[in-house]
Structure 1
Amino acid sequence: MRRMQGSRFAFGPFVLDPGAGTLLRDDVPVAVGYRALKLLAALVGRPGEILGKAELMDAAWPGTAVEEGNLTVQIAQLRKLLGSTADGGEWIVTVPRVGYRFSGAVEQLMDAKRKPSPLPDKPSIAVLPFLNLSNDPEQGVFADGLTEDLITDLSRISGLFVIARNSAFAYKGKALAVRAIAEDLGVRYVLEGSARRAGGRVRINAQLVDAVSGDHLWAERFDRSLEDIFAVQDEVTAKIVEALLGRLRAPPPRKRPENLEAYDLCVRARRLMDDTPQSAREAHLMLTRAVSLDPEYAEAYRWLAMNHWMGWVHSGGPTEADRSVALELARKAVAIDPDDAGCRWVLAYLLAYERSFAEADAEFERAIALDPNEADAWAALSDIAVLAGRIEDGLEHIAKAFRLNPFPASWYYLTLGQAQYAHRQYEAAVETLHRDETYHTSSRRFLAASLAQLGRFDEARAEAELFLVSNPDFTTRHWAATEPFRDAKTLEHFVDGFRKAGLPE
């Protein structure tokens, strides 16, 4: 069966929509990476057929030379994400020395209607990825950076509801009607456009569409020197705010990069941060170069801080020195640009792990005030709130994060699962943590605890054993000492689950 334009595919509890770039399990969005989704679409679109490795690699990495090991990693992640078929088999079968075959029964769905999300009580907008009209495909990075910056600029307007980057980019390259996208994301307005960068000039076309009526509220073309790109972004933002709110409500000015090469490097690095530790180390090199070109570039320092804190700079995980450097870099980012909400919440998160709780709480509060649409800030705040014993707040914060970012990075599911466990919603936690596409180390740990609390001890111990394969030195005592708990009862509840699951004391 050949994949048809606009088709969706149902198999088991899943519905795959290649056009929208989404995967649902029991009508709930599943976090799935861009490459993995491309591979799944290729396999599901031709069930029962053997697809060669070269064909699959071309589907996921078109026009790019990559190692075959990348395909193996993505297939392994897909298998973990999908789990077993109803009869205990695998959805994706390996054909030795040839490729892979999708073994499950697939139903092709046409023109099925999804239940639209309710509109917020304020003007709501999604900025779709700008099209790259340059002859050079590499300039797609510039178009992506323009899109991301406009999302950030609009997010800082308190009177607007703005969909986050992850979810907006789920529609990159998708030929879908604006109304359908708006219904998916639960917004009324959509900004779309194109960019062409060549010979020191940039041409940008942008239009603001009311997805309900189909009316174009505003459209304009900008033909400027490349050096004026940030002034153009400010002008586009002002026009949109004026169209939606009736008057200009300018946020505090952002500190823009001084060097366009540094800007390009940071955009490229951001695209690598959510991938593998190896790609994150590539991002580290780009970001290091960016700050050498522009020592006052706050966002580059912010991402460098996260790279160090997550232990992605060196193989083997973070060291105390890494964490110290991370905090120093995060403080520097905030010092350079105090009005950048992203820099503020990153600093807040790192401060919480340093147990500088009062300062962390103040930084989170400032980040949310600067950008109430910063989905990552709400998700990070959920994590810290749960460990502080404010579990209801934590659930509320992660719900806000998901509404702003319906198709997020997989760590949102980890955060939601942790909050559900803390709230003793064990069944919900198991379902949520199974959706973490990368099956993070922490996901297995919390999944084991949730299963143990449900009395499913065999499953719990199996998850605990899998966790310990990658973490042979783990002890509950050390974990409890390093996590930023502020509430003894919450800590005791997590320790109880770990103990029941068979994790080492």
Structure 2
Amino acid sequence: MRYLFEEYAFDTDRRELHLGDGVIPLAPQVFDLLLYLIRNRERVVSKEELTNAIWNGRAVTDAALTTRLRVARSAIGDSGEEQRLIKTLPRKGWRFVGLVREAQTPAAAALTADFTDESFQNITRAPNGGTMSISRATPRLSIVVLPFANIGGDPEQDYFVDGVTESLTTDLSRISGSFVIARNTAFTFKGKAVNVKQVGHELCVRYVLEGSVQRGGNRLRVNVQLIDSETGNHLWAERFEKPVADLFDTQDEIVSRLANTLNAQLIQVEARRAGHLSHPDAMDLYFQGWACENNGTTAEYMTQAESFFDQALALDPGNIEALVGSARVKAAFGANLMGDDWTAHFVAAEAILIKALSLAPNHARAHSVLGLVRSMTNRAVQGIAECERALALDHNLADAHAFIGLAKFFLGRSEETEAHIYEALRLSPRDNNAYRWFMFAGLAKLFLGADLEAAAWMRRSIEANRNHPVPHYYLAAALALLGSLREARAAAQAAVVLNPTFTLRRYRARVASDHPAYLAGRERACEGMRIAGVPEG
């Protein structure tokens, strides 16, 4: 069934919300909440009804319910103030007041819901008219999330464990180029002993994700492993524990951490596969480009990444992922002062992102990278707006939180930066980009005059990725201002090895903001680098 209202199409078979040609990602509980309100649009729905229908009557805090209603409104372009589509009736409940039309989805859509066109190479029927045989090619970056096991067997915890599985399935489907088996199919394996190779063959997926959740008192232990379905080899495993406060917030955090980590792991695996292909296609080249970009922002890695993205775009000029990757690399060239023409790099990056968003207006990462570009070119307020748009489209996009923190730094609000970095780390504590986030926090501290804290953050950045030259320069500045000249000079020398083109002249020439607090901080950082022996140029 499809429910149509305004420019939206709400597809209950695929469990998707469409705006034009794009899909707006929804967490399972938010989808169910919207569905219940739409189906019961002729009347007011109480809090008790919603909790019974969506949470099976379990206790739900007002804050948790309010948060999901806010997310649902945001997804359909509504707000608590406007209430154009979802109206709140104080002390009574809520009602969906938008004009809704109903339409049946084509039968073919239901038959092909779990397969993309590339999944089918040949379809034949036996000569005697018997069973149809299907020859399928396994799609790249294809995965099924098997229902997580509820260790301990407490039936009261089943809803929580199933919620983790559902939400993770939804969030993984946002990974660029991914093919994720629908939850309805995945849940047919619940409680069964499975053969991973057989599951991969039956569902035509390369990867199987399985896990378990165990609760002891007020703590949760989560185990998860990613398996290659063709070989049965374990590609990645993770275990973490977390205290339980609000179950729904805990579930959201678990899912965000896993989705962000898996994103990086799957890109690395696909890049390794693509490296062995004699004729890679655009997406193979995209995976290789992003894997290079994740290695660090040296000129060597950035040049390699740029080459892969350029090759992808030569094969497919409209490839959104390659466009965003290309823009990200160009922004990195500008941000890391790898040439005197840093402005040209940002101009080129912005043009590419505008093209990408004209083709895919709801591409979250494109919005976040555009936010970074605008923040670094003296338009931090616009940059924050782009990052907030990105988070509305993908709440897992930890990078967007960090970019907002950087934008606050450019606005002279460095004291606010650290909180945004911690939010990014909460969502993705082992993120490939964390080294950049640590540097953002260190920059804010340096410009505030908190040199000891600045040095600590810069060291964290360097430990996370030693192939990023800029934090070495800022560490040299912080140490010099602290009077640790020997260490400062060593840091400066390490920085020059990674980026020998960086000079104080070039640093002074790039002005990302005209805010007085930012300008004063730059002069202070520049003096520290001069004392540490960074070349004048």
Instruction: Give the TM-score of the pair, scaled to structure 1.
Output: 0.48
> With CA pairs under 8 Å and 6+ residues apart, which has the higher RCO, 1 or 2?
1
